[in-house]
Amino acid sequence: MKMLMEDIKNRQFKKIYLLTGEEVYLRNQYRKRLREALIDPEDTMNCSVFEGKNVNPREVIDLAETMPFFAERRVILIDDSGFAKNACPELADYVPEIPESTCIILTEAEVDKRGRLYKAIKTHGRIVEFKRQDEKTLARWVLGMLKREEKQITEETLRAFLGRTGSDMQNIERELEKLLCYTMNRPVIRTEDVEAVCTEQTENRIFDMVQAITEQNQRKALDLYSDLLAMKEPPMRILFLITRQFHQLLQLKGLAAEGLDRGEIAKKAGIPPFALGKYQAQAKRFTRAQLRQAVEDCVSTEEQVKTGQIGDQISVELLIVKYSTKKGLA
């Protein structure tokens, strides 16, 4: 990210950029900044956008070879094409030949670092990975936005806010807008305000559900499941998230024994760094054997639903009932 900012500041641009990583908000923000630095924001003649899995690389190459119209350069934006994950030899071979008058910006959620295109861009262009931000960075970002709005917030309330929103910056921005509208006539944001208007992420409810399961609090676990269904969450997505959480807890069991630092553990397990502590505490409530069995039962439940042996809603409910009793965790 620092090198990209240097390119923009010094106006020394590469001929191709790959913006990737799981933090969508930052990817989109820097894509916009880069595009606006390359050409006039109102210049639609020299800016082309391709999107989706059906992008034709030959069409991109032909356009890249076209001289810009009364401008210094032509910009080609390619979003979620899958080029950086799947084989795209045609574009990979073309990367060294991109003319100085063209800049290609690829934005991809997933990449294959062993692929020819990735390696070509790494050699001839710039690759920027936007990772999930840690709690301190997110807190500074939120405080900066609140300062501009002349709002105050305590550390406790800020923690409650981030606890509800999760680490997704797009969601944080959305929820903060709601909070600012709700507290429009007051300078101080309180915890009650957060609880009143900020939507709790589905993942947070899944975490609370698994927590209730570990505590054998069956009523709470089933109430949370009912809440998710009322929020129109599909039972199979809920099952996927339960499976993922059990799998993450199982991973934590293994990673804890490897002597890795917190940052590495969080990255390998796919857990936001600021949430790692509560996941580790939850993992301690299970044995590795229990977690392995839980993952297997989740996979088996999914298979039963897909083969029509049981309905999706009741299958997840039975799984919750099983694991929220002492017998189920035995």
Give percent of the chain with pLDDT exceeding 90.
Answer: 60
Specify the higher pLDDT residue, 284 or 153: 153
CATH architecture of 135-197: Orthogonal Bundle (1.10)
In sequence order, the 6+-apart residues with CB closer than 8 A to the CB of 232 are none
3-state SS, residue 268: helix
* CATH number at 202-323: 1.20.272.10
Q: Which of 57-71, 154-168, 252-266 has the highest mean pLDDT?
A: 57-71
What is the pLDDT, as a whole number, of residue 325?
80
| Span 199-255, pLDDT tens digits | 777 777 777 888 888 787 899 999 989 988 887 888 998 898 889 889 989 999 888
Average pLDDT of the segment spanning 255-269: 81
CATH architecture of 2-129: 3-Layer(aba) Sandwich (3.40)
Q: How many CB atoms lie within 10 A of CB 230?
A: 8
Domain boundaries, the chain: 2-129, 135-197, 202-323
Does residue 11 surpass a pLDDT of 90?
yes
- Given a contact cutoff of 8 angstroms between Cβ atoms, the answer to whether 117 and 91 are in contact is yes
What is the pLDDT, as a whole number, of residue 192?
95
Give percent of the chain with pLDDT exceeding 70.
Answer: 98
Average pLDDT of the segment spanning 117-123: 96
Place of tokens 């620092």: 2
The whole-angstrom separation of Cα 112 and Cα 86 is: 7
Does residue 62 surpass a pLDDT of 90?
yes
Does residue 328 surpass a pLDDT of 60?
no
Q: What is the pTM of this model?
A: 0.65
CA nearest 207: which of 192, 224, 195? 224
Does residue 133 surpass a pLDDT of 70?
yes
- Given a contact cutoff of 8 angstroms between Cβ atoms, the answer to whether 323 and 329 are in contact is yes
What is the pLDDT, as a whole number, of residue 256?
78
Does residue 274 surpass a pLDDT of 70?
no
Average pLDDT of the segment spanning 18-44: 93
Does residue 330 surpass a pLDDT of 70?
no
- Given a contact cutoff of 8 angstroms between Cβ atoms, the answer to whether 321 and 218 are in contact is yes
What is the pLDDT, as a whole number, of residue 164?
83
Tokens found for residue 69: 């119209």
- Mean of all residue pLDDT scores within the chain: 90
